[in-house]
Amino acid sequence: MDFTFPPEDDTFRHHARAWLDAHPPDRSGRDWERTLGEGGWIGLGWGDTPYGNRHATLTQQIVWAEEYARTQNTPPRPGHIGENLLAPTLLTHGTPAQKARFLPGIARGETIWCQGYSEPGAGSDLAAVRTKATRDPATGTYRLTGQKIWTSHAHEADWCFVLARTEPGSQRHHGLSLLLVPMDQPDGRVEVRPIRQLTGTSEFNEVFFDGARAHPDHLVGGEGNGWRVAMDLLAVERGVSTLVQQIGFEAELEEVIRRSSEADPLLRDRLVRQWAELRTMRWNALRTLGGRGDDPAAPSVAKLLWGGWHQRLGELAMAVRGAAGTVGPYDWSEERPYELDPLQRLFLFSRADTVYGGSDEIQRTIIAERVLGLPKEARGQ
């Protein structure tokens, strides 16, 4: 397979780089999201639809993502969940009215979304979802009750796409539906509580639904079809989107290498191995891009590869730093009680890489059962 980019993509790359140079990201996440929308850089992969911005080929989408990832000091993008997860789901499973209602706001960078999947006791085991959505027979409105956890950007999101159980008494992957739920609701129907992590930051949140309402027109894929819709969405999340993620990994690896000029031979060997594994992940992601999209193992293999790799990079960063890695960059003070340098933050945050987004154990089970045809794991009653 040819992993090179066609010559016309060089022009596209030059244009993307020039725009990024002319628009330094010195603004908040929401403002930056709107700037990207005004520039036409959101929704490049939505094909020939009236909802996105400029059309770009698959390789041009990669070119843009690479140039963006290499730009310094870009703020975290709260809009990436709507653009890269919800939008492809609506394009596949949404009604024309849903597409017209929600996609333009994402493309303009005006509407921020979060993902209501994981729950306490149902993190990697998504089929164990217990959040309920009961339909009012008079109005058709759904009332949601339950809790979600590890919800990225929930504290600033306008909407949440929620996997909930709409069939009373249903179990596992039966009776689930995907609902689009507004976060701004009266009387405490939606409560968001930030989760403070080892890094001292709070990117993730708990979300509590206490009678939260969802309009019947905002049911995606039909009632009871939530599992199929959710699996299609997770294939996007865990699959070839990791190609862009690897650009950030490359920058982190370069920083570790820069700090390791005096590393002993054993550390140098680990650095070379880390570099080689990153290149292998890139070729695997490009191979997946060129495939037909029917490889059931591809998303799980990608998650296993990058989760373990990134966690090992964090451990390697601390090994390179040695004893200095145990000491913060500033003396303790009330104003700065918990400070970390980038490599310390990398080490602590990457401890979760093999858990969130589907734990390694779940990914291996998927490969064993759906690809290798091994007997399904026995489940307790």
Phi, psi of 312 (to 5 degrees): -65, -35
Q: Would you say 218 and 229 are in contact if contact means Cβ atoms under 8 Å apart?
A: no
Angle, helices 265-290 vs 298-321, to 10°: value is 160
pLDDT of residue 27: 67
3-state SS, residue 267: helix
pLDDT of residue 337: 72
Question: Nearest Cα to 82, choosing from 120, 29, 39, 130?
Answer: 29
pLDDT of residue 1: 47
Strand partners, 331: none
Respond yes or no: is residue 203 known to be catalytic.
no
CA 296 distance to own-chain centroid: 19
pLDDT of residue 273: 94
Angle at 299 between CA 148 and CA 96, to 5 degrees: 65
Number of helical (H) and strand (E) elements in the chain, helices listed first: 12, 8
What are the angstrom distances between the C-alpha of 285 and each of 66, 298, 369? Answer: 14, 9, 22
Q: Compute the distance between CA of residue 30 and CA of residue 112 in angstroms, rounded to an integer.
A: 8
pLDDT of residue 282: 83
Amino acid at 292: R
Name 145's Cβ contacts closer than 8 Å, sequence gap at least 6. 131, 132, 134, 209, 210, 211, 212
Judge if pTM exceeds 0.85: no
**Residue for token digits 């403002």?**
31
Phi, psi of 106 (to 5 degrees): -70, -45
Handedness of CA 222, 228, 233, 353 (dihedral sign): positive
Per-residue pLDDT of the chain (381 residues; tens, 9 = 90+): 455 677 888 899 999 999 998 988 776 788 889 999 999 999 887 877 888 778 888 788 888 888 887 776 677 788 889 998 899 899 989 999 999 999 999 999 999 999 998 888 766 677 788 999 999 888 889 999 999 988 888 999 999 999 999 988 788 888 899 999 999 998 879 999 998 888 877 888 999 999 999 999 999 988 888 888 887 776 665 444 666 678 788 888 988 988 887 668 888 899 999 999 999 888 877 776 655 455 667 778 888 889 999 999 999 999 988 888 888 887 777 777 778 888 998 999 899 888 877 788 888 888 888 888 888 877 654
From 66, 237, 252, 277, the catalytic residue: 237
Q: Compute the distance between CA of residue 205 and CA of residue 195 in angstroms, rounded to an integer.
A: 5
Q: Where are the beta strands (DSSP E) in 128-239?
A: 132-135, 142-148, 159-165, 176-182, 190-195, 204-214, 219-220
